[in-house]
Structure 1
């Protein structure tokens, strides 16, 4: 009760009230900023992981000693392994793509069987134009929406592909130039894939890249990507041929390690913001102790012990931290739940893209709250608020009633 009365604003103690409000707002904004940034970092990593692993296999099988001419049998044996959801033989090659407008752009052509492509839901389930019927018949390609916009293409138009690995003639190797109808256009939401990948029917890709009768590699999708080490010996046994395995962690180790380092650095930096807000609690309590010196002395003369005075001011300081933390958590959760709406509003206000997908890979700001991290932020804020309240509380407890009332 006494701690609450000390925190209530009064006209005679306007300065103390203002500093207390500033401390409360500082803790609120610090906690909210920490929760929002950590949620965005988690969402960014999770969305990238979903999109990267939705397109690229969790394990890549590459042939050793001889070409992968038995890809159908190998893929069937690997698919039979418990926990393996899909094994996709692929043909890959770099080309120059050109359309109706603009200069040509580099593209990665991936030859994939129609039945396998339909099971890649991150692509086949996100078509914005066209259909997979021509693709299944081997009479069209599927491109990303950013590539379609850059080249001025829509479903039904023709895209021209130029490969440096063409036909060998007495005058040297001539580039291979061929045009294909655009059967469908997909949008994954990841600019790198939407602007650079072309899916081609498997048999046509074999002809285009001079790989008749063989596959260059097999991509394997499993139920639990984090348990990929447990699947490696099973896949090698099922393959029953010399082959080299590379998993998704090896292919993207530098990228995801950089994300982890950035996430930890942001947590450390924003924790300093909460620390600074907690220091404001110290200043407000020191001013409160100075203003309430006479009241403290009277409480002591009435029989209040030093521990009672200590508890009063620790409650006052921690109370500011508790209220600020609760408000910060509420604000952070509300922002995270409405992050896309806030992004669209900022785009409307600024008249430009505040989240450029060509730089940050994703077309929208992702946010994914982690209960464990949110709890860690709450505990950090409460601990700092408690520690900040100890110094002025000890000063108040040691106040000598005689000295405080000497000139009253």
Structure 2
């Protein structure tokens, strides 16, 4: 009788069903392993909170930047074109025509701007007086649609002003009431400079949702602002002889025409991020050198600080995930210590060191994977509904959370950036995977004899 041939056995390959079963078993604690289970649960909660907090905070900061950028650039151009000397721009209609002919320019708006003191029935405060014409007003949809009282009809011919709602409340005025604006750089007399003073009715009250504009801006019709700031010069009409010495005032007025000037021209482009390319195009379209400032130069300090804050917040909040990763190390080290006899039995049954390494790596990585997924879902839910949540909490506590007086906007904005969300997920998975390697390495290095003696 011939001897039966031995049955060939093959060890399970990497990431086999056997390894997944053992790793899953180690995630389910028995009664005597409750302490390890509590540590594992706290580690899972730490990963969830770290991922969710990062997603919510970064989404709010993205929304904050987008909202501010949209509102600031909705009223102020992406480029401001002024004379090199900083004086009034006399041929601004021709400059506007040249600029609007540049490819990539949506429109150009001439404006007049200066500072003044505005006073009403309740108080007085410093303001920025800005002059625009009706054609420009039609292009500024954010300003035109922000009117809450009054209207912009026949703006050029109107003898009134438009002010923000917060400024109206501070001055104690409403539609039809008068305010007085005083410019210290008035008429020069032998006794000094006399302030220019105008009293005008309030025709429009607007609310842009940004206290910076709603509290400090006063809009005038373009020609009214030019006269108020004396941005004009009397010049002889073409083809008319200069009046003689004995000419009457009427003859002088008939011989001269008023050449109005603008402070500058604001240019709105299709791609605000293409600063360098558009600046070269704008300069090439003009017939002489101009001082051209882009929106990044004019708001450099503000947006640079905002960018630094985003980076710092990302680094600081990433420490929450890092702490959770260290908790994974602690929990797995305790698990390896507790499972010493089990590891020794597995080794004597034929499990390799690589298999033990993979089992405990999968155990730690599973904590990070589940925590990251739950944190992702929780973070996205909060980021999408952050404003209703803020309003609800503020109403329940009767405390103003995110007050617009400090944050320049009426609500708490949020904009989810898919790239940043993916970065947060990869960061969490990477840290938790790396955290599981050291305890898994210790488990793989455990001597079976020492493990059986535990």
Would you call these one fold, judging by a TM-score over 0.5? Answer: yes
Q: Are 2:163 and 1:139 aligned?
A: no
Match of residue 77 from structure 1: 98
What do residues 335-370 of structure 1 show as CA deviations (whole Å, max 9, x unaligned)?
Answer: 110111122123213323221222222222222111
1:156: how far off? 2.8
Is the 8 Å Cα contact of residues 138 and 204 (structure 1) preserved in structure 2?
Answer: no
- The question of whether the paired residues in 1 share the 8 Å contact of 2:114 and 2:128 is answered with yes
- 1:51 matched to 2:71? The reply is yes
Residues 135 and 183, structure 1, Cα contact 8 Å, conserved in 2: no
Q: Report if the CA contact (8 A) 2:131-2:224 is conserved.
A: yes
Long gaps (5+) in structure 1: none
Q: Which is further off, 287-296 or 266-275? A: 287-296
Task: Give distance in 1, aligned partners of 2:102 and 2:159.
Answer: 33
Would you say the 8 A contact 2:36–2:335 is kept in 1?
yes
2:56 matched to 1:9?
no
In structure 1, the residue matched to 2:256 is: none
Q: 1:209 aligns with which of 229, 248, 252?
A: 229
TM-score, structure 2 as length reference: 0.86
Does residue 352 in structure 1 map to residue 399 in structure 2? Answer: yes
4+ runs of 1 displaced by more than 3 Å?
A: 64-67
Whole-angstrom distance in 2 between the partners of 1:52 and 1:276: 39
User: Are positions 1:404 and 2:451 aligned together?
Assistant: yes
For the residues of structure 1 that align with 2:127 and 2:290, how far apart are their CA atoms?
27
How far apart are the structure 2 equivalents of 1:11 and 1:265?
Answer: 43
**TM-score, normalised by the number of residues in structure 1:** 0.95
Matched, 1:36 2:47: no
In structure 2, the residue matched to 1:118 is 138
Query: Relative to 1, partners in 2 of residues 1:16 and 1:77: Cα closer, same or farther, differing over 3 Å?
Result: same
Any stretches of 5+ residues in structure 2 without a counterpart? 1-20, 233-259
Of residues 353, 375, 386, the one that matches 1:306 is: 353
Distance in 2 (CA, whole Å) between partners of 1:395 and 1:109 is 72
Contact 2:51 2:372 in 1 (8 A): yes
Provide, for residues 44-103 of structure 1, a one-character-per-residue CA deviation record: whole Å limited to 9, x for no partner.
2211111111111111111236741111121112112121111111111101112232x2
Instruction: Say how many residue pairs are matched.
Output: 406
1:267 has 2:267 as partner: no
**Is residue 343 from structure 1 mapped to residue 390 from structure 2 by the alignment?**
yes
Q: Are 1:374 and 2:410 matched, yes or no? A: no
| Residues 135 and 142, structure 1, Cα contact 8 Å, conserved in 2 | no
Shift of 1:134: 4.8
Greater alpha carbon shift after TM alignment, 303-312 vs 60-69: 60-69
Taking only aligned residues, the RMSD between alpha carbons, in angstroms, comes to: 1.6
Structure-2 separation of matches of 1:269 and 1:363: 27
Select the structure that is richer in helix.
1
